Structure 1
Amino acid sequence: MDQQRERFTPMKSYVPFRGLFDPCPPIGEKYYSTPPNLYVGFQSPNLEQFTPQEALRKGTLWKVFYDYYDNPYKRGGDSGHG
C-alpha cells in the first residue's frame, strides 16, 4: 500500500498569474488536493481494508482510497489527521 501512496502527492500548489497592471494585491500560493482514486487504475482484489468501525469514521472501506484533509492555510495547532 505504501508504494501506491508514494506515487502521487495529494496536496499540490500553484501561484496565480499576476499581470504588470493588475490593480489587485498578489494572491500568493494557492493549494488544492487531488483524491487518491485518480492514481489507482483499477481496483485490484484483496486490497487492504479498515475494520468496519474505522471504515465508518474514515468514509471508505479500503485503505488505499483514504485521504484526510489537512488545511494548508491553517497556521500551527493540530493538523487534523491521525
Structure 2
Amino acid sequence: MFTLYKTYCPYVSPFDPCKPIGEKVFSTPPNLYMGFQPPNLPQFSPEEALRAGTLWKAFYDPYFNPYEQGKGARSE
C-alpha cells in the first residue's frame, strides 16, 4: 500500500525567529509506484482527460494543499 502524501519532522533550532512547522508534508506522484505501464489501463474520456491532465486514471493525482483546512487532503 502506498500513500500520495508523505510527512517528516524537520530540525527546529532554538534560535529560529519564526514559529516552526512541526510536520512538513509533500506529495509523491502515482507513477513512482508503478514499475511499468500495464496493458489495458482504464482511461478517461477525452473531455475528462483534458480536465485531469492525463489519459489514464491510474496516473491521476489531484492536488490538495495539506496545510489548508477543509480541502479534504488531511486534517491537523
Q: TM-score, normalised by structure 2?
A: 0.83
Aligned length: 71
Query: Could you say which structure has the greater relative contact order, defined with CA pairs below 8 angstroms and 6 or more residues apart?
Result: 1
Runs of 4+ in 1 over 6 A off after TM superposition: none
SS in 1 for 2:31: helix
In structure 2, the gaps of 5 or more residues are none
From the two aligned structures, give the one with the greater helix fraction.
1
RMSD: 1.7
SS in 1 for 2:25: strand
Q: TM-score, normalised by structure 1?
A: 0.77
AA matched with 1:44: P
- Percent identity between matched residues is 61
Task: Write the deviation string for residues 37-81 of structure 1: whole angstroms up to 9, x where unpaired.
Answer: 0000100110000001000000000000000011111123x449x
